[in-house]
Structure 1
Amino acid sequence: MNTLRALAGVIAAIVLGGCATVTPVSGQFPPITPHQAQTGAENGKLVRWGGILIQARPKAQETCFTVMALPLRQDGRPYLGQKKSDEGRFIACAPGFYDPALYAAGRELTFVGTVTGVQVEKVGGYTYPYPQLQASTVYLWPLEVPEPATSRVFINGGWGGGPWGPWGWWGGPGWGWP
């Protein structure tokens, strides 16, 4: 009997494990935010950061992304319902060419990489310290397609009377009524 229970437990774990979402950015990472890395104290640490793409800039050997950081879900996808300015911004650079037409402003991205320093740039008239990330993984999230809105149309209120009511042309339960 104990063997049967153990076997049922193993089968349940396999079935439930098959439902888990695994992405190239899944895993456990230290809870360091870009805002915390602005001091340079987090240099050399492996992190997972993500957010909304502000700009992609291809260079000769790499592409650098400027990103508005957002909190991440468990699977690593940016959580759009929690737009917070205190997460900060960051610059992530990855080797190779990433087409700015595909990696367009407003898209959700997640990066895994090493914090390499702080780069100071202007945001409007403000000097902003961008933590820099050398990305080993760049993940462009697929666009979420909203579910189509459905509606129900009730003619004549949906109940009783008239030719469209539940009793047809008879007009109700009193069958002899005109």
Structure 2
Amino acid sequence: MATGLSARAQPGLIETRLARAVRGLAIPRDVKRMANPVPKSADVVAAGMSHFADHCASCHANDGSGKTEMGQGLFPKAPDMRQPATQQLTDGELFYIIENGVRFTGMPAWSTGAPDGEQASWHLVHFIRALPTLTPEQIAQMEGLNPKPPEEIRQQIEEERFLKVGGDTPPTPKPHAH
């Protein structure tokens, strides 16, 4: 069976290089040269980590590998952000991609147009730089910051209600299915 324009096949080397070249041309030169205006600190990286876990990990995974059901279902697949292809981008390029997205990929534009949104994007740039050195403990910490599906939230509320007022045994969790 011919694949046509299917998103199931991984792009070939030529398509990947062409896409990266087009992305490079799409980012304005002055933006590429932008330095991160937010000084790096442990608090800034922690803020970026929290934001990443809550907003980015569903596609990019807590460790930045892109190995999630959603990330692997995109075309092209979510990149491994720990690798040189991402780490060698300038701070300005990373900021631009976060704020404006990348056409014809699964990466949406996240810009709020507000200064606090831009600051959060700069925090993410610092965190993305830290992805190659994340510890297993940090990745585990991020799991607690990931969004929970509605069923898990409902179960948590029921358990809290049970513990608060007592009563019957709380329901057993159901397996996660898509």
Q: Which is helix-richer, 1 or 2?
A: 2
- TM-score bracket, normalised by the shorter chain, equals under 0.3
TM-score by length of 2: 0.22
Q: RCO higher in 1 or 2 (8 Å CA, sep ≥ 6)?
A: 2
TM-score by length of 1: 0.22
Larger Rg, first or second structure (1 or 2): 1
